[in-house]
Amino acid sequence: MKNTDKRLIVALDFPTWGEAEKLVNQVPEVMFYKVGLELYLASRGEAVVKLREMGKEVFLDLKFHDIPNTVAQASRQAVAQGATIFDVHAAGGREMLSKAAQAVQEQAEFLQVRKPLLLAITVLTSMDEEDLKDIGLPDLRRTVRAWAKLAQESGLDGVVASPQEISLIRETCGPDFKILCPGVRPSWAEAGDQKRILTPRKAIELGADYIVVGRPITQAQDPRLAALRIIEELSTVS
């Protein structure tokens, strides 16, 4: 059995860098971490730098959604910070997405660094059909398909999506388009506020390139054991 798996990204949703650092040191097998709004703000951006210094890959999940120029400029900063993956909202529209993709390309060339993967958030995994109706969008799967297609046409590398929509996205965008899935729950974990979930094994079997798991690991009594159980589950899928 492999004891590490780069397809697993652990979400470090903590209110201090100290708590995040403790978790990272507890699970040396995990090589990829997500830094989201809470930890990014709490650490004043330092979490990304510190994780890079610890030799870890970083998914910077700040979900940019603003006018095209603002998102393009923020994207340049994300490249400079050394994120391996970062994301913007597909709902920001074609011009915002393509300006972000162009900014990433230019900045990576300018700084002579590896170009991060730029992904578009489709429909948040905490939302179901009812939630989508509330914000005036009638059909969840049609929305995911349209936003994934838009992201691909705009030059993005892939999407963030529920594992329940992997097949739909693969049908629409082909085998090389990256799919990163939160909304992943082992059979032994609680769903919490996630509404469109599948297990780690199912997500990878269906074709996810990455899965993001937070609380089932970070809030477990033994986070290392929880991470190793998931890594073992993944090792059965090539």
Ligand X SMILES: O=c1ccn([C@@H]2O[C@H](COP(=O)(O)O)[C@@H](O)[C@H]2O)c(=O)[nH]1
Paired tokens of 112: 């002579």
Residue 145 annotated in ligand binding: no
Helix (H, G, I), strand (E, B) or coil at 208: coil
- Site residues (CB under 6 A) for ligand X? 11, 13, 34, 36, 61, 121, 124-125, 160, 182-183, 192, 194, 212-215
Shortest reach from residue 193's CB to ligand X, in Å: 7
Helix (H, G, I), strand (E, B) or coil at 97: helix
Which amino acid appears at position 85 of this protein?
Answer: I
Question: For this structure, is 66 an active site residue?
Answer: yes
From the candidates 50, 63, 115, 195, give the one annotated as an active-site residue: 63
Residue 26 annotated in ligand binding: no
Shortest reach from residue 52's CB to ligand X, in Å: 19
Question: For this structure, is 50 an active site residue?
Answer: no
Closest CA to 111 of 130, 83, 131, 91: 83
Shortest reach from residue 106's CB to ligand X, in Å: 26
Any idea of the CA torsion for 77, 83, 88, 94, to the nearest 10 degrees? Answer: 80
Q: Identify which of residues 82 and 182 has a Cβ nearer to ligand X in the complex.
A: 182
Question: For this structure, is 87 an active site residue?
Answer: no
From the candidates 50, 66, 131, 149, give the one annotated as an active-site residue: 66
How many beta carbons lie within 10 A of that of residue 84, not counting itself?
A: 18
From the candidates 6, 50, 56, 61, give the one annotated as an active-site residue: 61
Angle at 13 between CA 7 and CA 17, to 5 degrees: 105
Residues in binding site for substrate: 13, 34, 61-70, 125, 185, 194, 214-215
Active site (catalytic) residues: 61, 63, 66
